[in-house]
Amino acid sequence: MAWTLVVPLKPLARAKSRLADAVGALPRSALALAFALDTVDAALACAAVDGVVVVTDDPLAGAELAALGARTVPEPPGGQGLNAALAHGAHTVRAHRPGAAVATLNADLPALRPAELGRVLDSAAEFPRAFLADAAGIGTTLLAAAPGMALAPAFEGRSRARHRASGAREILLSGVDSVRRDVDTGADLRAALALGVGPRTAALAGERPEARVPPPVR
């Protein structure tokens, strides 16, 4: 099954506020853009992915992601939040291809590996709706809906429990850490760096000594 991924990205100026204390002078907006670019680049390299649609109102991010080969669409009017943006992205995909298999993917997976994403999507293809929990076991990094099935996203907060309660099947695979490793905090970023991040995130937070994320104070 070939999947179209819907990736939500809020305006960069408002992104990754929980990283502020951890990264010091390193601009959060630059990190958020690097995360998104590395995520989408890896997703487009996955054999199971037919295309990526990014839902964003940020012009810089939209232009750079489009240059990678993603399609960008604006957020729905009215500031209705993440789930509305995801539903809008899925509707946009299926307005052009009614039989598309659609999956959401977080934009903050800078360690994403195409092969691991492919394993998750192949597993998702076995069910009408399926999801992958994040590394913390509380949230969700991927939600998939087979052709003809509504996506019905229930992200933010304890979304793992909500997606399970909605009838989506949880994907229980080992060895797909890169698809689970979203980045919201300094500890998350250190964990992603340990896995090995994409080139843009590495250039900001990995290879420049002055930009490395400091360890937590004990």
What pTM was computed for the model? 0.92
d(CA 17, CA 38): 19
Task: Write down the H helix ranges in 97-165.
Answer: 114-124, 159-165
44: which 2 tokens? Answer: 């487009």
pLDDT (tens digit, 0 to 9) for every residue of the chain, 218 residues total? 899 999 999 999 888 877 877 776 678 899 999 999 999 999 999 999 999 999 999 999 999 999 999 999 999 987 689 999 999 999 999 999 999 999 999 999 999 999 999 999 999 999 999 999 999 999 999 999 999 999 999 999 999 999 999 999 999 999 999 999 999 998 999 999 999 999 999 998 865 433 444 443 33
Residue type at 209?
Answer: P
d(CA 212, CA 208): 6
Is 3.40.50.150 the CATH number for 3-209?
Answer: no
- What pLDDT score does 206 carry? 66
Q: Is 140 annotated as a binding residue?
A: yes
Provide the pairing of β-strand 71-73 with 101-105: unpaired
